[in-house]
Amino acid sequence: MAFQKKRFKRKRRVCVFCEEKQNTMNYKDVNKLRRFVSERGKILPRRITGNCAKHQRAVTIAIKQSRHVSLMPYTLD
């Protein structure tokens, strides 16, 4: 018998913003934006956060704006 790979089906993540019917993203809401940043200060990808493409782009722009006005740090050392 040949070895068979077991394939695990991952639970599909649902976009938090689509679920809440929230269309606007605010760069001043630092507590919400910290959920999408790693311990090292990097923006987490869609496959980890579960965001849809539209909201992932909005989160990325909001995080960058927040960093630009010094509400969030660029790196966490």
CATH number at residue 60: 4.10.640.10
Sign of the dihedral through C-alpha 33, 36, 39, 41: negative
In the numeric block, which tokens belong to residue 66?
């927040």
Our count of domains for the chain comes to 1
Tell whether 4 is covered by a domain: no
pLDDT of residue 76: 73
Q: Which residues pair with 37 in a beta bridge?
A: 43
Tell whether 7 is covered by a domain: no
Confidence category of residue 67, pLDDT binned at 50, 70, 90: very high
Tell whether 49 is covered by a domain: yes
Of 19-23, 28-32, 72-76, the range with the lowest mean pLDDT is: 19-23
Report which DSSP code applies to 72.
S
In the numeric block, which tokens belong to residue 22?
């929230």
Tell whether 59 is covered by a domain: yes
Specify the pTM. Answer: 0.79
Tell whether 77 is covered by a domain: no
* pLDDT per position as a tens digit, 26-53: 999 999 999 999 999 999 999 999 999 9
For 70, half-sphere exposure in the C-beta direction (CA atoms, 13 angstrom radius) is 0
- Answer whether residue 1 shows pLDDT above 60: no
CB atoms within 10 A of CB 60: 15
Q: Residue 35 is part of which domain span?
A: 16-69
Tell whether 11 is covered by a domain: no
